[in-house]
Chain A
């Protein structure tokens, strides 16, 4: 095949795919600045004829989106901090420490990956009621405090740490926990960053569980609030797009800023090795 043709075809296809991927997101932003009802005219506008902030004003004013942003932020941050801590400790333990039942437990964890989380949701809901965690931030965070995927990711990465490093430290008389905090954690920084991004994204985007466990609308996270809005304001598309922008923008920004770590971590954790 003519090399120049190949260049055009390959890059053309990629450009086309990129356009398809990005177009809905760009249009979302565009419509959010349109006045009410502008998107329901023919032909559907791609760019606002007149820019307006009224949708955002309504969103943060009478609908009180700010509250939902704070809820999402708080829950996602707490879930991230806790799950990164727990997953890192456990991932290292499974990778480098020897203890009774280690391999059996890890195989069981892998098996648990196949079980859809929703199987646990209903009974978990009933379990949390006597614990008083229904309709609290705690209830929303609790299932996200550790994950098999996170442990797996850290373990994959930690296995690459040379054993001599650890042996040398042990010979020097350092205890296991000290080794973990002073040697391992700094070495694991790249994967910690990836894990943090994963956890934050997962917690921010989580929908079904917060939908179930948070009944008071003052505690709703952004996805839940947006779903409620979409059923209430079916006709008001410009407002809905503004709501989508507010929900999606933080994670997109986070992703763009840290995409290298995120994708490297994803690739590292996925290659069989």
Chain B
């Protein structure tokens, strides 16, 4: 197995070295940090650093703001992911339909938000969501609904961010699902049509089973990405109003860089990782089960 040993290490070496030194090592260091009480005092004088085992984690579980951040993030994931994937799937199906004209133009237009910088478009959306001068409220008023204080009302702030995230991200999954749709062999549809299946039957019996593996992959990627919510609350709401948009990462950023409790912040980061890992594992298990059922 070592036929190409030397050359392989020369080629793979630099990338692996970068990942080892600038990713794996800090991750391990982060785990170590989370077991200490690294804070402002330790920053000034390392001798005040103490090993405290799992106390950071225990204290985290007793911090109300952490639970609020967790709740906010789960809310964002639970509502945002299905919304985003639903939009992506719908758009992909529309793009894939035979009756679609100007598919390349639509594809580009729907994908454009994905490549934009989050900070820049968050600034735009912050103004679109303005209570008085925002176009969204003016559109609501035009159809007879009451204006909403999107970024000032704790009930509506997370829905506002969910809307924004869906707008920004749905194009990405749309392309992936489109690729999967286009990879479905036409013979399968032909066979189903010959068998007398209607369009809806074809969709359920042919399209969906083939899509499931891709949907699971898209689901894992999107869930993992959505758990890492940070830039939107940072730019649009600073975690407010009333901490309703504090996400787990935002909480970690505040703990780590505002109060300089690096021990705590690292513990938060690891809890987030475990969460993402657990959810991904569940989704993967679902994928394997559904695959076995075929």
Contact = CB atoms under 8 A, between A and B. Distances in A.
B33 to A, nearest CB: 6
Contacts of B135: 27, 44, 46
Contacts of B94: 10, 13-14, 17
Contacts of A248: 116-117, 120-121
Interface in A217-273: 222-224, 226-227, 230, 237, 240-241, 243-244, 247-248, 251-252, 255-256, 259, 263, 266-268, 270-272
- Decide if the interface of chain B is mainly helix, strand, loop or mixed: helix
A159 to B, nearest CB: 15
Contacts of B127: 31, 39, 237, 240-241
A116 B269 contact: yes
B99 interface: yes
A190 to B, nearest CB: 15
B113 A21 contact: yes
Report, as a range, how many residues of chain A touch the other chain.
35 or more
A260 to B, nearest CB: 9
A106 to B, nearest CB: 10
B269 A267 contact: no
Given A3-B99, A20-B167, A116-B276, A177 B11 contact: yes
B150 interface: no
A14 B123 contact: no
Contact of A123 (B12, B30, B273): B30
A36 B22 CA distance: 44
Interface string B90-104: 110011010111100
Contacts of A263: 107, 111, 175
B76 interface: no
B104 to A, nearest CB: 9
Contact of B116 (A25, A146, A271): A25
Contacts of A226: 117, 119-120, 123
A115 interface: yes
A250 to B, nearest CB: 10
A28 B127 CA distance: 10
Interface stretch (B51-59, B61-69, B176-184): B176-184
B256 A90 contact: no
B1 A99 contact: yes
A14 B273 contact: no
Contacts of B89: none
Interface stretch (A50-58, A59-67, A204-212): A204-212
A44 B135 CA distance: 7
8 contacts: A13-B90, A22-B109, A24-B113, A24-B124, A89-B14, A97-B11, A114-B280, A116-B228
Interface of B: 1-12, 14-16, 18-19, 22-27, 29-30, 33, 90-91, 94-95, 97, 99-102, 105-113, 115-121, 123-128, 132-135, 138, 167, 171-172, 175-176, 178-180, 182-183, 199, 213-214, 217, 224, 227-228, 230-231, 234-235, 249, 252-253, 256-257, 262, 265-266, 269-270, 272-273, 276-277, 280
Interface of A: 1, 3, 6-7, 10-11, 13-15, 17-18, 20-22, 24-25, 27-28, 31, 39-44, 46, 85-87, 89-90, 92-94, 97-100, 102, 105, 109, 112, 114-124, 126-127, 142-143, 145-148, 151, 175-177, 180, 201, 204-205, 207-208, 212, 222-224, 226-227, 230, 237, 240-241, 243-244, 247-248, 251-252, 255-256, 259, 263, 266-268, 270-272
